[in-house]
Amino acid sequence: MESVLPAASFLYWVGAGTVAYVVLRVSYSLFTALRVWGVGNEAGVGPGLGEWAVVTGSTDGIGKSYAEELAKRGMKVVLISRSQDKLNQVSSEIKEKFKVETRTIAADFASEDIYDKIKTGLAGLEIGVLVNNVGMAYEYPEYFLDVPDLDNIIKKLININVLSVCKMTRLVLPGMVERSKGVILNISSASGMFPVPLLTVYSAAKAFVDFFSQCLHEEYRSKGIFVQCVLPYFVATKMAKIRKPTFDKPSSETFVKYAIKTVGLQSRTNGYPIHSLMGSIFSILPSWIYLKIVVGVHKSIRARFLKKTKKN
């Protein structure tokens, strides 16, 4: 009987400690959620960082919405994208709506010989914010060896999703370090948080952006530079092929409205409350369950796409 009492006492304190730990974790998570999504950091991004913001892939979707939000906050904006016609249109819209100066640089990030041109276009500008948004995804989920025009797709995905982030950062970061202030926002994807079979190269490229951002943030935060990786789930954009926004698939305007408030609070964010909840749920799932769900979803999307294209 005497030996049973110490054992029972031990189990009691183990149980009490476990409950206390869970309560503390839940309380901390709720406090963090309230701080980030309820309060936010409205003053985190603006002209105080520097006169100019640079946004790649700025004529559609998330990139365009970041450009508009930064202009709304009083920043002059350099728009960089492939089509000069689209750049002119977005530039005119921003000038008219927000009364700020804009510049445009037409550049195809699928190429590697564009960065001297971009460097010349940015020369002399006090750049406070860089948004590395330009991106390319698969046309549809597919097994690696069955991706149409695979060699070309590999090159384009790496140039657009990986090389652009490194090269643009290389161009802009020295000026930020010299002034001891600046923000770099690297738009990755939830596909970079965990492996996504049937989107293999895209998932791996976005994982690179995540790791690159985390490393860069640790290297330069003591120098006044805040680097954030944004990892959204589905957003209603042309690239995602989602036309109508829903509760869990917000418009790019809604997404950016929430995401920009996390700057200065989270160096790694899903950018939107529902996406943050989704990320938390997936992170606690056993990997085999997660992979089973993801593969099943993408096999279904693949089958629908192939059936539709055969009919056409």
Query: Average pLDDT, stretch 185-189?
Result: 98
For 52, the domain range is 40-311
User: Is residue 312's pLDDT more than 50?
Assistant: no
29 lies in some domain: no
Residue 15 lies in a domain: no
Indicate which residues carry an active-site annotation: 202
Specify burial of residue 226 (Cβ count, 10 A radius: 0-12, 13-18, 19+).
buried
276-301 pLDDT, tens digit per residue, is 999 999 999 999 999 999 999 999 99
Looking at the structure of the chain, the number of domains it has is 1
Give the integer Cα–Cα distance in Å for 27 and 277.
Answer: 15
How far apart CA 291 and CA 87 sit, in angstroms, is: 39
Characterize 117-143 residue by residue with b for buried, 16 or more Cβ atoms within 10 angstroms of its Cβ, and e for exposed. Answer: ebeebbeebebbbbbbbbbbbbebbbe
- In the chain, helix, strand, coil percent, each to 5? 60, 10, 30
Structure tokens at 191: 């596909």
Q: What are the pLDDT digits (tens) for 66-119? A: 999 999 999 999 999 999 999 999 999 999 999 999 999 999 999 999 999 999
Q: How many CA atoms lie within 13 A of 284 on its CB side?
A: 5
Residue 135 amino acid letter:
G
Distance of alpha carbon 91 from alpha carbon 64, whole angstroms: 10
In a domain, 5, yes or no: no
- pTM, to two decimals: 0.88
CB 126 within 8 A of CB 56: no
Residue 51 domain-assigned (yes or no): yes
Residue with tokens 């009919």: 311
pLDDT of amino acid 310? 79
Residue 26 lies in a domain: no
Report yes or no: 54 and 132 within 8 Å, Cβ to Cβ.
no
CATH number of the domain at 117, please.
3.40.50.720
Instruction: Examine residue 14 and state whether it is found in any structural domain, yes or no.
Output: no
pLDDT at residue 17 tops 90: no
Would residue 18 count as lying in a domain? no
In a domain, 137, yes or no: yes
